[in-house]
Structures are given as C-alpha cells and as structure tokens.
Amino acid sequence: MPSSRGSRGSIGRVATAGGLVLLFLSTAACGGSEDKEAAPKGSPTNVAATVAGVVAPAKVEVIADLTGCKVKIRTEADELREGVCHTEKGDYLITTFPEEKYKLTWLDAASVYGGKYLVGTRWVVSAKPKLLEQLRPRLGGNIQQLRGVGPAPAPTTS
C-alpha cells in the first residue's frame, strides 16, 4: 500500500524552499542601508528600484504600492492584468503579463500609437514621459520610445 508520506514530504520541502527564498529576498531588500548618500535619489540603483527588481515580475498591486497609489483594476484577462492609478503627480496605467511573450505582443500593438513606456520584466507602465522618469527610480525598468504610425508631427516652437 503506497504511503502518502512522499507527497507530504515533497510539500514540506517546497514550503521550506519557499520560506528560504522569502527570507533571502527580505534580507537582500533590507540590506545595504548604511550608506544612503552613495546612490542619488534619482539613480536607478536607488534602494526602491533594487526592491522592485527583487519583486518583479510583480502583480499590479505590488507595483502600485511601490509608486504610492491605490490601484483600481480595470482589466483581468488570461494575457494581462491592468490597473489605473490616479495621483497628484498624474494618472498612469500598470499592466502586468503572465509571460514575457504577452508583454512583447502588447508592446508591438502599442507601437502603432507611439509614445514612451516604462518597461520591466513582464510589466509596463503607461504615463506621460515626465511621470515615467519619476517612477523609474522606484520601479526599475527601462523607458522605451515606441514609434507611431503615420507622419511625424511638425516641430513645435516653445
């Protein structure tokens, strides 16, 4: 008669491994705070970006929390989740994807509209360029310029 001990043992090993990973991540995220002047506030090496790198690919709610917003989920689908943030600094969308291929497909479709996006591992933030620059130190990622379709806009004089 087969024993159920093997499956419980596997679950115990997985739970132990998961606990060790969480312990490592929390230790890594909290360490290195002795020299706060070493990384300027706008630097991508800022502690918050390091923490974001540890949690990414993240849930919409985690990214929203890192940016200081209470997110309202707008879309829940197999291919993506999207949340809307309204803050004093501006409004933005946070989109997460279960796999990198869905993010790449989304970016390809968004390229029709052009614009700048903050792009990380299986997530994208859509906002005005100035706000993306402010969010990048907290989230990490890269700001990508997507080309639009059609003629380039005429230069403006400011």
Q: Label residues 44-58 b or e (16+ Cβ within 10 Å = b).
A: eebbebbbbbebbbb
Nearest residue to 44 (alpha-carbon basis) of 123, 125, 139: 139
Q: What is the pTM of this model?
A: 0.61
pLDDT at 156: 55
Tokens of 131: 């706000």
Give, for all 158 residues of the chain, the pLDDT tens digit: 544 444 444 444 333 334 333 333 333 344 444 444 444 444 444 445 555 454 445 799 999 999 999 999 999 999 999 999 999 999 999 999 999 999 999 999 999 999 999 999 999 999 999 999 999 999 999 999 998 776 665 555 54
Query: Which amino acid would we find at residue 78?
Result: D
CA distance 30 to 32: 7
Phi/psi class of residue 13: alpha, beta or left (left: φ > 0; alpha: ψ in -120 to 50)?
alpha
